[in-house]
Structure 1
Amino acid sequence: MTVHRSRLCHIIIDCNDLDAATEFWSVALGASEEPIAEPSRQVYRRLKLPDADIRVLLQHTDDEKASKERIHIDLETDDVEAEVQRLEALGAHRWDHQQERGYDFWVLRDPWGNEFCVLQTEFPELLARRDPWLCEGLTP
């Protein structure tokens, strides 16, 4: 049996103009931009909501909306593999393993084909507030 925590940490919004999207969503949500690592600023901007611990992450893409979701969620966890296995047991399936810009995470699809990500801990102090999952039969 493994014990680990997970929580919703990001809602991702795809856009093709990070500056304009940052301005729009900051005003629309009453959010403030949080600093992120400089190499990631070319692809991402992170917004802190005034009344929630969930962040909005703006992600640059030139893709036209055709099949990829324009908004998806990120789940952070202190054990990526255990969380992926827990979600697979609920009906999700692995779609894409990403290893970019110092991050190692999984893109999963829910039973209806919607994409979401399972990534390493981003906000340890918030994750620590969550009750751990107890997953029978999973290897540590």
Structure 2
Amino acid sequence: MASSLYQVVVNARDLSAQARFWCQVLDWKVLFEDEEEIVIGADATTLPGFCFVPVTEGKTVRNRLHIDLSPDDRDAEVERLVGLGARRVDVGQGEDATWVVLADPEGNEFCVLRPKRTLLD
């Protein structure tokens, strides 16, 4: 029997701010919240979700795991996400990259890809 991806756990200094940011990014909602964790997802029956757990230290090195987003319009989505609090970052992707690297408000890198329908073009 294979495993199913249940949730991605994200260390955060400000659980509420991180949960709000990613809810706006993904059009998800808060499914559970207490002082030790905030779980967000599309709904209570759809997997996976994100679980934000508290840490006291800030992020200091590049992520070993990151999220890739595939919007209908990459450039418009990048601008929307920057408006929500993301920032552009350079991790060595080069000028000819077909994706844009952003960081969430706590510095976690994620990529915005070109639309899925053109990934194989």
> Shorter-chain TM-score: what band?
0.3 to 0.5
* TM-score, length of structure 1 as denominator length: 0.38
Greater relative contact order, per chain length (Cα 8 Å cut-off, separation 6+): 1
* TM-score, length of structure 2 as denominator length: 0.43
- Rg larger in structure: 1
